[in-house]
Amino acid sequence: MILIDHLFDVPLDHDDPGGERIEVFAREARAPGGEGLPWLVYLQGGPGGRSPRPLAADGWLARALKTHRVLLLDQRGTGRSAPADLASRDARYFSRLRADAIVRDCEHIRRAMGVERWETLGQSYGGFVTLTYLSMAPEALKACYVAGGLPSVSATADDVYARTYPRVLSRTRQFYRRHPADAERVRAILDRLSAREVLLPDGDRLTPHRFRTLGLGLGMGAGFERLHWLIEDGERLSDDFLDQVMRATSFTANPLFALMQESIYGQGGKPTAWAAERALADHPSFAPAADSLLFTGEMIYPWMFDEIRSLRPYARAAHELAAIDDWPPLYDAERLAANRVPVAAVVYHDDMYVDAGLSLETAETVGNVRVWVTNEWQHDGLTASGERVLDRLMNLAL
C-alpha cells in the first residue's frame, strides 16, 4: 500500500471565498501500480471523527484497493484538518463544519485533483454527508456506498431522540439479560459514586450520571463485552478502572462529537435547543437525578460542558449552536427523489444509533437506492467485516 498526503486550502465559508481560509487534509491510499484506478472517497462517521490511519491494507480498505484509489478525508475540523486553537473557536466557526460544507470541500478537492467523477463510501455520519452530496452535486458521483448511515431527510433532532431513547432502553435491557450479575455490580458502583466524591485521573468528578454515559458503546458489536469487563472490576474503583472510565467518557479525542451531535439535524427555522435533554421529560428514567440502572447512549446533555474537562472550553459555543434557528437545508428532497446515481446501503436492523425505520423510509423516497437489511452486525459492520460488507455493497450497486 502506498500512502500520499494531500493538503488543500479552502474557504471556511464557501459563500465567502475572500474570507477566512482553512486547511483540509486527505490521505491517498493505493495499491502499487494502482495510480490509474478510479477514486473512492471515504467519508468517516462521527460527527467529528477523523479518517482512519491505516496500519495495513486490511478490512474494507483491502477490498477497496483491489479496484480503487482511496481518498481518506479528514473532514474539516477533524484530525489534520483541525486548527491548533480549535477550543477557542466560536459558534460561527463550528456552524461551518456541517455536511454541506464538507461536500463543498469534496468538490473543491475533486476539481483540484482533476477528477471528473468519483465514488463515495459513507460510514455512519458519512452516510448523512453522502445524501447531502447527492442533494448538492450528484453530477460528481458515479456510485455511493453507505454503511449504517441512511438519515431521514426531514426528521428533526426531536424526532431522532424520540426514537433513540427506546432503542437505548432496549439495548440496556439486553445487556442485563446477557450479564445479569452486572445489575448488582452497577448498583454498588452507583451507590459509591453517590455517597462520596470520586475523582478521575484528570480531576473531574465521576458522578453517577457520567458513569451511565458508558452506554454509548453498547451499540457496537463488542459493546456488551467491553462494558461487562469494565464493570466486573468496577466495585473496587481502582486506578485502572477510573482511567478506563475517564478515557471512555471524556471526549478528549473527539470533542466535536459532543459539540456537533445535535446540529447535524438542524434545518429550517427551528433550533435544536438541546433535544436530548428536553426529551427526558418523556423518558425520566434516563435523567441524571433518576435512581436508575439505565445507561445512556448517543445523547449529549448541557451538563457535559460543565462537568467534563475537555468540553468546558466549548460550553459557550455549544449553547449558541443549540440556539441557531436559521440552519440552511442539508437535503434536497426533489433532487433526491429524482436521483439516478446508484446508491447501495446496508441498514443494520438493530442499530442503536441510526434508526432503521427512518433509514428504510429514506430508501423509499430516494431514487436508485438498493438496501441490504441485516442484523448480523450492530453499527460497526464495516469495521468488523469490512471486506465482506464493502464487496456486497459494490455488487449491489451494479
Q: Is 68 considered catalytic here? A: no
H/E segment holding residue 52: none
Measured in residues, the chain has a length of: 398
Q: Is 86 helix (H, G, I), strand (E, B) or coil?
A: helix
Cβ atoms of 102 and 76 within 8 Å: the answer is: yes
User: What residues pair up with 39 in beta bridges, in sequence order?
Assistant: 69
Q: First-to-last CA distance in the chain?
A: 26
Closest CA to 145 of 130, 125, 166: 130
Could you say which of 68, 179, 283, 379 is catalytic? 379
Could you say which of 16, 233, 291, 326 is catalytic? 326
User: What residues pair up with 282 in beta bridges, in sequence order?
Assistant: none
Closest CA to 254 of 211, 304, 324: 304
Could you say which of 95, 124, 135, 359 is catalytic? 124
User: Any idea of the CA torsion for 397, 348, 71, 128, to the nearest 10 degrees?
Assistant: 90
Q: Is 326 considered catalytic here? A: yes
Closest CA to 149 of 233, 71, 220, 46: 46
Cβ atoms of 71 and 65 within 8 Å: the answer is: no
Q: Is 124 considered catalytic here? A: yes
The 10 Å CB-count burial string (b at 16+, else e) for 360-383 is ebbbeebebbebeeeeebbbbbbb
Alpha-carbon distances of 242 from 202, 203, 204, 206, 275, rounded to whole Å: 10, 11, 11, 8, 30
Q: Which residues are catalytic?
A: 124, 326, 379
